[in-house]
Structure 1
């Protein structure tokens, strides 16, 4: 779904159809690319597929845009005269499409920025650092900047160890930084802000000073009782972003498990059990979703340990963190229910 452009069974071109959130095979005709799904609809590949083979999302044949709704969100890419940069860019776009897919499932797919002052639109910048111009991954005013070197596994792993992190992935960067964007869209200047402050803390405290204090002194010893990570302790904005990222980790992974029909039967009285009664996205029974997440991560970590690997999910969810996840789910439930009635939610496009 995120990188395949050729079916290895039939050798036909495949692509992702954002409108139906599904993959399809295509046959190239004089009129366009015919979807072989019975719809007889015509499409064309994104320009970034035709020129660089770094995208597999399709566009309606009569759509005036040269780029798919994913690539429209990327405003700056690395210098493609450097061959390594094409590889970095391709990996960044794959991770971005995986992130965007779950925003589709949650009805919060972002729209592109229309101007520098448009904080409710979103833009991605993938920059290669130099000695004179270092690049910090981060978010500001609807612009998510990623250091393109993060697409290099060795660089990313070395950074993970240096920073004392137990988890660092390209996809994780997209999910974390998007948390800052969605705070501005979904929480700031809304009725949710008061409850946010009760749960996460007052975001009006000095951000720069809070980060300086964190890097000088680290997290408090009992941080696991209230936070998902040490970095989450630095400031309420970072607590939200870290928790938001983990919510997306959870929902996306469970959504995959749901669609491949995964279940787990408990073998002893207190053993974990994985069962679905509905899709995890927009789940009415969020407590079942949390129970399923415990079962799935328990199984994933146990399997990894049996292979001599690190835990796939090296985190502990305290009761306080669970309440933060419940808050995020509640916000998104309201977004889905009232999107058409609220002008702010209408700013989020349906891809």
Structure 2
């Protein structure tokens, strides 16, 4: 049997190294650069060889990572949809009996009080709202309100607020010093009910309960502890010739859950899988338990002659009056202009929140929002 000489072709690395060696022999002054070039060639070819030898394994890992990223709730697909990252849900109200009620309510269990306000009631089977907005083109604010014109059926006028029977009128607003400023000795606590911080990072505690009261005979509710200061503020504004109209007080967690589930179903019907639908819904509707309206301390305000929930309200006499005077009664404009990166919600001059006179005065005088107040006084 004849032996045959088997010859092997030099590798790419060997060819390049040989060429560099020949060049360096002819040009000794480039010896140092030749050594560096050889090191780079060895490193690059070794890396390329390792990647090629493990190509199947690396491809499998890449596929797993791609699937994980595309299906995770924190990954938001870039889609051509007018969806606000910081908005949440459609406006709703709760209905109680025809007489004044002050009952202990668990915000996680109030299904019996649920109803859908006429202005956002869905027409069965149509996927449209009576006010003309569809689920696809509806625009929401950062706290769950359906932006646009507020119908009269969803407004609580001054006369309704002031004439309704009030069992809490004997509650006085906190007293200020004679010079109008809050005493420096005032102490704040993270456990104060009026200072509760509610947003997507700070959901409502599961065991949180509060007593409700009707703002008017129409059945719209709020935390009973803010009813007296609310009426005093409305009366003071009226005395100054300003009309304040409440259009969206308390709404329940069950209502929020229904809105969120409906939004998920909408995206499912558009052909997205469940994870994508959940992700998109969470961008448009606040996850239940993360809206201030659920704790009865937040209110939306409009005025006679301007019944739209938009930034233009801030330029009306009512919007200016609220910005300059609401703190005297324990309320603040919750989402200030210029604080969007802190609150995660765009400027909303119509959305007020009760925090108590002492805290409201500090926030007004220092020009800070509730998140900043917590950072400075409560953490």
- Does the pair score TM above 0.5? no
Give the TM-score category using the shorter length: under 0.3
Structure (1 or 2) with the larger CA radius of gyration: 2
The structure, 1 or 2, with the larger RCO (C-alpha pairs under 8 Å, 6+ apart) is 2
